[in-house]
Amino acid sequence: MRIDTLEVLLREHPFFRGLDEPDIEFIAGCGHNVVFESGAYLFREGEEANQLFIVRRGRVALEIDVPGRGLVVIDTAGEGEVIGFSWLFPPYRYQFDARAIEPVGAVALDGVCLRGKCEEDSKLGYELMKRFASILLRRMQSARLRLIDVYRP
């Protein structure tokens, strides 16, 4: 059985692909493996946002409880995706709940550790910000498409 180190897992993950080896090693030092059973929360709305999650398997629903409507799923993240961006910007609080809707395996990265490294190493910081911005742009475009209700005839 192959047991991959965090470095290997991150190197093979689409989000980190192509980063320099020392950077991968540093980022791996900010992380640890986590598993969540179906129904468990990765984080809750209003909690301090000090982690982001690199999803390796399973699916996570980003949701919010809407009074009168119950839980509404806003977005989902599956294998190969990243969830939890609130650690990037003040006030560093999660805006939604993230719940495992299948058993989830992920790498949790310490946001404070990453922020510190990005402040010190502007080259890595810029590279990571470009990658985060790309995901945020895709999610914003997806939200816009849903806003215009693309399936309406």
Partner 1 sequence: MTIAALPGTPLREPMVPFRYRVRSRRRETHDVVTLALEPLHGPPLRARPGQFNMVYAFGIGEVPVSVSGDSSVESPIVHTIRAAGLVTRALCESHPGTVLGLRGPFGTDWAMGSADGHDLLIVGGGIGVAPLRPAIYAVLARREHYGRVSVLIGARSPADLLFATELQNWRSRFDLDVRVTVDVADGRWRGPVGVVTELIPRSFFDPRSAVALVCGPEIMIRFAARSLVDQGLSPANVRVSLERNMKCGVALCGHCQLGPEFVCRDGPIFTYAQVGHLLAIREV
Give contact residues for partner 1 (rule: CB under 8 A).
59, 61, 63, 69-76, 78, 80, 99, 101-102, 138, 142, 145-146, 148-153
CB of 86 to partner 1, least distance (A): 19
- Number of residues assigned to the chain: 153
Instruction: Pick the closer one to partner 1 by CB: 5 or 38.
Output: 38
CB of 71 to partner 1, least distance (A): 3
Strand order of the β-sheet with 104-110 is 31-36, 104-110, 51-57, 82-83
CB of 50 to partner 1, least distance (A): 25
Contact 56, 105 (CB under 8 A): yes
What CA–CA distance (Å, rounded) separates 59 from 68?
26
CB of 128 to partner 1, least distance (A): 21
Instruction: Pick the closer one to partner 1 by CB: 5 or 142.
Output: 142
Contact 80, 39 (CB under 8 A): no
What CA–CA distance (Å, rounded) separates 16 from 12?
7
Instruction: Pick the closer one to partner 1 by CB: 22 or 80.
Output: 80
Instruction: Pick the closer one to partner 1 by CB: 32 or 146.
Output: 146
